[in-house]
């Protein structure tokens, strides 16, 4: 029996290699941890549409914590188990800023991703690469559900450094989160991987001391701190490594597999 009854795994930069591949060594180690009695939950900035296929590639089903903790979804029927929605009007400033500075952005509801302007062919190709089919709407007010995440993307991390600095000075009820070098997310202030993991653990009757989490970026910090044992990847920034209880090998060196073999077998 595993000491850790709930294992939370970030996806990009953690579970997958930089080529977005799931290696056989990692797949095998995750499966063995599951077969030994642990519940596996993916905790990712991805939405359900491109997070659930990773869970299925592992040969598992269950729950995925998506949109950086903003929506927890059941893989079998895509039902929303828990979410942190917010008022779309709270996005007015961020949308205006992105339009003025010609920045690419999208808005996610728990299950879908939406864009509000026409994209060039290569823009749609980028979404398709990540198994996403964006829904084109005229404006945010046309959303059928309340949003859970606003994301701005740039290929230039320095540009997002400037955006992040500007947005942190804004008086907004929403949380600004740097979720990757090329991404900034805007979410409900209580939304985080850590809070979503806490809600899930409570629903399963699992104490936080029986939770193991692995991640590699700033959006994983709350999750690593909540877990009874938090593991950072070697490809993590130093601040993330300092917040963890242990550092494993990088995502390109089967770091997840190495950590699971050490702690869950």
Residues serving a catalytic function are 10
> Distance (Å, rounded) from C-alpha 10 to C-alpha 24?
17
Long-range contacts of 35-40 (CB under 8 A, 24+ apart): 36/1, 36/2, 36/264, 36/265, 37/1, 37/2, 37/5, 38/2, 38/4, 38/5, 38/6, 38/7, 38/264, 39/5, 39/6, 39/7, 39/204, 39/206, 40/7, 40/9
d(CA 34, CA 100): 48
| DSSP single-letter state for residue 263 | H
DSSP state of 157: H
* Integer Cα distance of 195 and 13 in angstroms: 21
3-state SS, 164-213, equals HHHHCCCCCCCEEEEEECCEEEEECCCCCHHHHHHHHHHHHCCCHHHEEE
Classify 104 as helix, strand or coil: strand
Residue 76 sits at φ, ψ, to 5 deg, of: -65, -40
Name the pairing type of β-strands 104-108 and 113-115. Answer: antiparallel
Terminal C-alpha separation, the chain: 9
């Amino acid at each position: 029996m595993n000491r850790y009854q709930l294992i939370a795994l970030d996806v990009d930069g953690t579970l997958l290699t930089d080529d977005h591949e799931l290696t056989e060594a990692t797949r095998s180690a995750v499966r063995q941890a599951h077969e030994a009695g642990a519940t596996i939950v993916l905790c990712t900035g991805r939405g359900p549409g491109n997070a659930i296929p990773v869970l299925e590639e592992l040969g598992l089903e269950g729950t995925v914590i998506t949109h950086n903790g903003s929506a927890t979804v059941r893989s079998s029927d895509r039902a929303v188990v828990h979410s942190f929605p917010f008022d779309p009007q709270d996005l007015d400033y961020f949308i205006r800023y992105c339009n003025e500075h010609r920045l690419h952005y999208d808005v996610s509801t728990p299950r879908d991703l939406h864009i509000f302007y026409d994209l060039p062919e290569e823009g749609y190709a980028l979404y398709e690469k990540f198994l996403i089919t964006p829904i084109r709407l005229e404006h945010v007010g046309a959303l059928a559900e309340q949003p859970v995440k606003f994301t701005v993307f740039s290929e230039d991390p320095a540009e997002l450094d400037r955006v992040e600095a500007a947005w942190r000075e804004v008086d907004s009820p929403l949380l600004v989160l740097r979720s990757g070098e090329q991404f900034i997310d805007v979410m409900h202030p209580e939304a985080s991987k850590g809070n979503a993991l806490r809600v899930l653990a409570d629903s399963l009757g699992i104490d936080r001391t029986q939770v193991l989490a692995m991640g590699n970026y700033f959006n994983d910090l709350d999750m690593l701190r909540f877990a009874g044992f938090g593991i950072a990847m070697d490809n993590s920034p130093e601040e993330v490594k300092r917040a963890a209880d242990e550092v494993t090998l990088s995502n390109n060196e089967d770091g997840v597999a190495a950590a699971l073999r050490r702690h869950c077998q």
